[in-house]
Structure 1
Amino acid sequence: MMDWDDMRVFLALARMESLGRAGQHLRLDPATVGRRIARLEEGLGRRLFTRSHQGYALTDEGARLLPHAVAAENTMAAAAQEAGAGSTGLSGQIRVGAPDGCANYLLPQVVAAICEENPALDVQIIALPRVFNLSRREADMAIGVSAPQTGRLSVQKICDYRLHLAAASSYLDQHPPITKAEDLRQHRIIGYIPDMIFDSELDYLAELGLDRVALGSNSVAVQFNFIRHAAGLGVVHDFALPSAPGLVRILPQVFSLKRSFYLIRHLDDRRVSRLNRFAETLYRGIRKELARLEGAVDGPLPSDAA
C-alpha cells in the first residue's frame, strides 16, 4: 500500500519533470527522490516515468496514477484545513499558472493581499508563456487569455483588459513623430517572437500589419523592459503602465486592443472547498486590482502621443 509520502514524491516529479527541481520542492536530495521513485515503481511492479536527457515524463501507467495522487493530495489538504477549523483562513499550498504579463504586473499584489489575510497559506505563481496542462497537474488553477474548448475543465471569465502601443518618452524625443499608423514602419518594433506565439490572442501586431519584429522575446516582461529602456515601441498592457511612468501610449485613438482573462480549473477540483474559496478570492482580487490600474491610465492622457 502506498503512503502519502510516496504520493508527494510522485506528484513532485510528475509536475516538475526533474529530480533536481522535485528535490528542491520537497527539500530532499535529488538522489533520494530518484531512490524513492525507483522503490515506488518496484513496489507497484510498473514503470511510472520514462527517463531521457530532457527529464522525466509520465508513462501511461503513471498518467493513470496521477488523478489518484491528486485526490489524495486534496484529501490531505482538506484534512489539514479541517484540523485548523478554529481559524477561518486558508492554509496549505496552492499553485497558480499564468502568462507572464499577468504574473509580473497583476498577480503579485493580488496574491500578496490574499496571503496577508491568510498567513498559513503558501501560494506559488508559475509564470510561463504557454498554456498550462491542468490534467497533468502542473498547477492547481491557471489564468489564460482564451477559453479552452477541450478537456475536463471549469472555465470562468474574470474580466476584460486593454492594451495599447507604447514607447519611452525619451525614445519618441529622438525619433520621427508618429501621427498615423503608417508612421510606425519608420520605428523599431518590439514584440513576441512570431513562431513562439502560443495563443492567437497574443498576435497583437497582426492587426497593424507589422510583420517585422526587430526586438523579440517570448516574455512580456522582457518586451516591457525593452520598451522601458527606449529600445523601440510595442504593445503594452494598460495595467502594466503605472509601473513605468516614463512610458507613453501611442495613437490610443487609432489602435486599442481588448482581451480577456479566464480562470481555468480542473473540473474535479470544484469539489475541493479550499480551492473554491481561493479561486473566488483570486477572481475578486484580480477584477479589483485591474480596475484600479487601468483607471490610473484611463484616458486620453495628456502624455498620450497623438
Structure 2
Amino acid sequence: MDWDDLRVFLAVARAESLSGAGRVLKCDAATVGRRVQRLEEAVDAPLFVKSPKGYALTEAGARLLPHAERVEQAMAGASEELSGTAGHLSGQLRIGAPDGCANYLLPQVCAAISDANPGLEIQIVALPRVFNLSKREADMAIAVSPPTAGRLTVQKLTDYKLHLAAHQDYLDSAMPIRSRADLRAHRMIGYIPDMIFDKELDYFSETGCETVALASNSVSVQMQMVRAGAGLGIVHDFAIPFTPGVVRVLPDTISLTRAFWLIRHADDRRSERLTRFAEALGQGLRAEVARLESLALGAT
C-alpha cells in the first residue's frame, strides 16, 4: 500500500469530493480519482460511494481511515526528526479559533511561538463557528465550550472575563448609567440572535437586556461599533486595551466569566509535535489573557 495513495484517500475523505481533495493536493480531480481507484484495487474493496453530498466513506473506507491517519502522523514525525530541527517545531500548523481570540490574542501568542521556532508556519483561521477537526479544517481548534461528541481530546486553556463597555464619548452624551435599570434607555450592541453558534455566547440573557439594536456575528465588528460610540456591548476584557476610549460600565453589577478550550483529534495525542505546540499555545494564551485583563482594569 503506497503512502501517496493513502494521502489522496485522506484528502478525499476530508473534502468529500475529488475536486476539493485536488485543491488541497494541488492536482486535478481526474488524477485524484485515478489514485483512489488504484488504492481500491490494492485493498480489493470500494472505499467511497458517491452520494448527494459528495464522496462518502464505505464501511471499508471507514475502517481504513484511522490507520491512514496514524501513517500520516508517523510520516510527519519522521520528517521532523530527520529535518535537523531537533528541539524546534517546523512545518505547517493551522489553528481554528473564534474571531475574538483570533483577533486579540493569537497574533501575539503565535508571534512569540514563531520567534522560538523559525521553521514553523502557523495559520490562524478565524471563523464564528465550530470547526470540524475530523475533516482536518484545522490541526487543532479553540472553542468557547467543550464538545460532547466526536473522537476528540479537550483541554481547558484559561478563563477570561467580559464586561459591559462603551466609548467614553458615548457615555458623555448619553443618559447616566447608575444601575441595570438605566440600560433600558440605551442602545445595545451584540450578536445576531439566530446566528449565535454556542450557548456560551448568549451574553444578554444574563444581563436582562432583551433587545439588540446593532448586531453582528463578529466580535471584532461589535467591538468597532462600541469604539465608534454607537452604544453599549458585552466585550472581552482582553480586547479593551486595543480600543482607546472604551471603558467598562457597571463592572461590579454585570460581569461574565467564560473559558477557552483546546480541541484536538483523538488520534493526534500520539503526535509529539502537536503536543509541544499545544503546550506552547496554552502557556502563551494564559499569560496574554492575564496581561491584557490587568490593563483593562484601569478602563472603568
Once the two structures are superposed, the pairs formed by residues 79-228 of structure 1 within 5 Å of their partners are 79-85=78-84, 87-228=86-227
Quote the offset at 1:137 in angstroms: 2.6
- What letter corresponds to residue 150 of structure 2 in structure 1? G
Q: What are the ranges of 5 or more consecutive residues in structure 1 without an aligned counterpart? A: none
Aligned to 1:252: 251
Deviations 1:45-104 (A, max 9, x none): 64637576xx85644465555433432321221011110245310111222111111111
Number of residue pairs matched by the alignment: 294
Deviations 1:227-274 (A, max 9, x none): 122222111100111111121111111101011111122222111111
Q: Judge conservation of contact 1:144–1:262 (CA < 8 Å) in 2.
A: yes
Once the two structures are superposed, the pairs formed by residues 51-66 of structure 1 within 5 Å of their partners are 56=54, 58-60=56-58, 64-66=63-65
Instruction: Tell me the distance in 1 between the aligned counterparts of 2:86 and 2:261.
Output: 30
Q: Judge conservation of contact 1:13–1:56 (CA < 8 Å) in 2.
A: no
Instruction: Tell me the distance in 1 between the aligned counterparts of 2:278 and 2:86.
Output: 19
Instruction: Tell me the distance in 1 between the aligned counterparts of 2:50 and 2:289.
Output: 42
Aligned to 1:3: 3
Q: Judge conservation of contact 2:46–2:58 (CA < 8 Å) in 1.
A: no
Instruction: Tell me the distance in 1 between the aligned counterparts of 2:239 and 2:166.
Output: 13
Aligned to 2:34: 39
Instruction: Tell me the distance in 1 between the aligned counterparts of 2:57 and 2:85.
Output: 42
Q: Aligned-pair RMSD on alpha carbons?
A: 2.4
Gap change, CA 1:290 and 1:16, over 3 Å in 2: farther
Instruction: Tell me the distance in 2 between the aligned counterparts of 1:135 and 1:214.
Output: 37
- What letter corresponds to residue 149 of structure 1 in structure 2? T
Quote the offset at 1:152 in angstroms: 2.5
Instruction: Tell me the distance in 1 between the aligned counterparts of 2:183 and 2:17.
Output: 44
Instruction: Tell me the distance in 2 between the aligned counterparts of 1:201 and 1:209.
Output: 16
Instruction: Tell me the distance in 2 between the aligned counterparts of 1:231 and 1:21.
Output: 42
Identity %, equivalent residues: 57
Q: Judge conservation of contact 1:98–1:143 (CA < 8 Å) in 2.
A: yes
